[in-house]
Chains A and B, each alone.
Chain A
Amino acid sequence: GEDVEQSLFLSVREGDSSVINCTYTDSSSTYLYWYKQEPGAGLQLLTYIFSNMDMKQDQRLTVLLNKKDKHLSLRIADTQTGDSAIYFCAESLGGYNKLIFGAGTRLAVHP
């Protein structure tokens, strides 16, 4: 079946690292994505990883993929107040006609 699960809340101190976790169920997923939603706005693509990769790094963002366990994580180094948002994990199935989104993790960054 198709399901993407994330924890709903994460609170971190400014300057610390944040790790947002996601599990998915469909092993045929080709791409996995992280989207960021700021208040009052739509979703913006943060980063993505192809299913044959284990890791991808992009400046402060590190994506880790454990395909065996169907586990995806997003690490944000040196978390800033501007990183406060909802983060969605999503998997693409087949020809990208279908993106399955998780419920979103609300990241709160406090001083």
Chain B
Amino acid sequence: EAQVTQNPRYLITVTGKKLTVTCSQNMNHEYMSWYRQDPGLGLRQIYYSMNVEVTDKGDVPEGYKVSRKEKRNFPLILESPSPNQTSLYFCASRPVGTASSYNSPLHFGNGTRLTVT
């Protein structure tokens, strides 16, 4: 089954304790992206990657890191989490470089709810 898998689904941690949220897709998609969803703000892009070893900042990259060493994986790293990073995080992927790229929908994972105390 084609899917984007995020782990964990729920995470409660304390300020300053490094954490990683994993994201993996099995569709051989080049493009992957991380979003955070906050009430009243919709989804805001944190980082995205057009392909292996190519990453770029989105709208709210501060406090986050990403890496793209393999095509299927795009982990989100919080080196020193703070309470304002409490949010619902989504990973998404899609193919690029085809004639129908614009029509290709973003495939979303089921989300990771992070609470930083």
A contact residues vs B (CB 8 Å cutoff)? 4, 8, 30-31, 33, 40-45, 48, 50, 88, 92, 96-99, 101-104
Contacts and interface: CB of A to CB of B under 8 A. Distances in A.
B2 interface: no
Given A8-B40, A102-B42, A103-B40, A97 B105 contact: no
A41 B110 contact: yes
B48 to A, nearest CB: 6
8 residue pairs, one from A and one from B, having the closest CB atoms: A42-B108, A45-B105, A101-B42, A101-B43, A103-B42, A43-B108, A42-B110, A102-B42
A102 B37 CA distance: 11
Contacts of A30: 102
B102 A4 contact: no
Contact of B102 (A41, A42, A92): A92
A97 B94 CA distance: 10
Interface of B: 4, 31, 35, 40-45, 48, 50, 56, 58, 90, 92, 94, 96, 101-103, 105-106, 108-111
Most chain B Cβ neighbours within 10 Å, of A31, A41, A43: A43
B41 A103 contact: yes
B98 to A, nearest CB: 12
Contacts of A41: 110-111
A88 B42 contact: yes
A89 B28 CA distance: 27
Contact of B56 (A8, A33, A97, A101): A97
Contacts of B102: 30-31, 50, 92, 96
